A and B are shown apart, each in its own frame.
Chain A
Amino acid sequence: MTHQQATPARRAAPGASLRRWVRSGGLSTLVFALPLVIIFGLFSWLPIAKAVVMSFQKTNLIVTQWVGLQNFQDVLADPLLGIAVRNTVYFAALAIVIGYPLPLVLAVLMREVRRARGLYSALAYLPVVVPPVVSVLLWKFFYKAGPNGVFNTILGGIGLGPYPWLQDPNWAMPSLVLAATWAGAGGTIIIYLAALTSVPPELYEAAEVDGAGLWTKVWHVTLPQLRGVLFITLILQIIATAQVFLEPYLFTGGGPNNATITILLLIYRYAFQNSLGGNYGAATALSLMLALFLAAFSVLYFRLTRSWSQS
């Protein structure tokens, strides 16, 4: 045991500090970290670095030439960029209005449930387990426009519809948000449920002694106690919705009439729409702009909310 402890009083001979570093576990740490560093570097940081380089190039992956800021200028001049940004912001806003409060409400309700809480948790998390492509195919089936679609048949029973769902530029985006909320809420519910267990029960007991109802307890105890988690889930949701791709790609392909084209779908189109090899420079330029914007937004967000989440 003791041979691992260094003896600081002894004067260091040449190479002694290296030996000491090795003996104190430095080499082991380095060697153990090496696989992770190599894999992370090769598969994460190297592609990022290559993408940054590519954003200043015109390339079909065979012939490459430097074009300076041309890709950025082309992207900014593309009339589809404005549409994609507007659609992405619209998706994010709808996702926050519909998808942000819902998991919290469900988590709070599930916490209040006395029996079979595990079952409700499992049911809430189930959509997250379903492979996204499968769930999109199911929802596509449910969203069939016309009176014989699943949702339209159900709504028709109470005299509503039929609605066009994915087949109308005005309906398409809310339809995507609805499906995305269903698919993603379970993960956030689990986070909230975990966070709710850290709220001291005495606070609720004290509130109940004071005659507080469910709403008062939520407003005066739960929300203040979860403030830190709520801020984190909000920024995570904003970042995720800014990068939404799966739903518009699989549900509508960006249609009808570009009503659901998002920034990531536009990046994908730049890169892959042309079967002869896409505009990878423009794709990486827009990716870089999006990443820089999200990084700046995150820093700003944390600065603005630092005092709120700590007070």
Chain B
Amino acid sequence: MKSTHRVLGLLTAGTLSLTSLVACSGTDSEPEASDSPGGQTVLKVVALLPGSTQEAIDGFNAQVAEFEAANSDIDVQPEEYEWKATTFAAQLAGGTLPDVFEIPFTDAQGLVENGQLANMDAQFRSLSYADKFNEAILAAGTGADGQVYAIPAKNAYPIALTYNRSLFSSAGLDPDTPPTTWAEVREFAKKIADANPGVAGYATMTQNNTGGWQLTAQTYAHGGRIQSVDADQKATSTIDNEATRATLEFFKTLRWDDNSMGDNFLLDWGSINQAFAAGEVAMFTSGSDIYTAMVQTNSIDPDIYGLAPIPLEGADPAVLTGGTLAGVPASASDEVKDAAIKWIDFYYLSKLVDEKRAVEDAQTLVANNQPVGTPVLPMFSQEQYEQNMEWIKDYINVPLDQMKPFTDQMFSLPLAGEPSQRTQDIYALLDPVVQAVLTDQNADIEALLKDADQQAQALLDQG
């Protein structure tokens, strides 16, 4: 009996050892071709933002079901996703990104240079509307070799001023007449804060690189730029400029003289949306497309939402633009890439150029109480955009009337892209600058700008 026990024990231990060895042996870098037992290609795709409402999830799942019905050889597996610089880098390093993921315009070139994006050129060229894209937008995802790696997908947006119409009314302001100058923004913010204790008349993002992002956007709006690049692609930091100084002085005045910026100065993209939807923030700048996220994640009351162009002042002011591309990991197999382009076509693009798909997509979204018609920049052309809005006009359920101050001007705005070099690093080093101005009454703006400029130049010199 004793020896039998020993043999059994040894066998158990040996099996455990082998099991752990097998469990630990990772896959190598061979292209992955993930097939489900039924011979289908498994395609992991980014889905909605974490914390989305059940209606939003149902709406997304309905679209997945529709896609799978038309593509029986593909098994779509959605994963919640919110692009954040910090979490994206971790997912990228850990190899846990889905097969189709979303990235901002600013990241595509770097990912292509690092060999982290699959070459999707052949798949992209197979789209019937491949040659109709706005060239500037398509360029964001095109490598130096002229091949398309990341495909303009979700949207392109300008920075705009989002405002709370109810809070405007509460302060005796006309919600149909949003501010058009920074002086008016200050005046309105003060009135709203005085009329609503605890509410920020105006707020700005400060964390996770978004503080730098919005400081840059408002620098552009004041006529400045934070970086210049010469013909040899040598970049020079210009953070220490009058427009950035004016923006920081503006923050300082609202915060310390007017006390109209509330009491939360640690906000990022998600938390400022949340604060706005909760009625804690009356005005802030962000992408023109955030209404969709606020419906899906923050259950915003549509009646409070208002959208206006960001005020432009100074010489050569511009509206900072951004956008989202769809990428596929470099390790993806051809089967996955082929499946990915079908999904990208279905979920993001064909609804913009094909009437039948546009209507189907709108019907599905409306059936699940999801927003249809949020204003964004045209992915193809103004005519195509207007044609698309005509196709879905019966289904538009976003409060477009309340966005009229923005939509009336959206095609005449002076647009400008984000800084092209070390963008996220420079946004990151600007976060504490904004935080310092908002949390330290004695913050020395001159010194902060000089220091940030030196740090940014050091980054740019590293290449």
Residues on A facing B (Cβ under 8 Å): 27-28, 31-32, 34-35, 38-39, 42-43, 60-63, 144-149, 164, 166-169, 252-253, 255-258, 268-269, 271-278, 280
Contacts and interface: CB of A to CB of B under 8 A. Distances in A.
Contacts of B13: 28, 31-32, 34-35
Interface residues of B, number: 51
Nearest to B115: A62
Interface in B93-150: 93, 103, 107, 110-111, 114-116
Contacts of B20: 35, 38-39, 42
Given A145-B263, A276-B107, A31 B93 contact: no
Contacts of A144: 263-264
B262 interface: yes
Contacts of B110: 276
Given A253-B207, A273-B425, A34 B431 contact: no
Interface stretch (B173-181, B245-253, B434-442): B434-442
A272 B198 CA distance: 35
Given A273-B85, A274-B424, A275-B424, A256 B14 contact: no
B107 A252 contact: no
B86 interface: yes
B229 interface: no
Interface string B2-26: 0000100110011011011100100
B432 A257 contact: yes
B-side interface mostly: helix
A31 B14 contact: yes
Identify the 10 closest CB pairs spanning chains A and B, nearest first. Answer: A146-B263, A145-B263, A256-B439, A257-B436, A276-B110, A275-B85, A272-B89, A31-B13, A35-B16, A34-B17
Contact of A273 (B16, B21, B209): B209
Contacts of A27: 10
Contacts of B84: 275
23 contacts: A28-B9, A31-B17, A32-B13, A34-B13, A34-B14, A43-B24, A144-B263, A167-B264, A169-B439, A256-B439, A257-B439, A258-B432, A269-B86, A272-B90, A273-B85, A273-B424, A274-B85, A274-B428, A275-B103, A275-B107, A276-B107, A276-B424, A277-B92
Given A35-B16, A271-B89, A256 B265 contact: yes
A185 to B, nearest CB: 26
A241 to B, nearest CB: 22
A247 to B, nearest CB: 13
Contact of A63 (B19, B86, B114, B425): B114
Interface in B251-272: 262-266, 268
Contacts of B83: 275
A277 B21 contact: no
Contact of B439 (A38, A167, A253, A273): A167
A271 to B, nearest CB: 7
B197 to A, nearest CB: 8
A145 B86 CA distance: 26
B461 to A, nearest CB: 13
A96 B266 CA distance: 27
A126 B428 CA distance: 37
B227 interface: no
A146 B424 CA distance: 32
Contact of A278 (B89, B197, B431, B438): B89
A143 B113 CA distance: 44
Given A255-B432, A257-B436, A31 B10 contact: yes
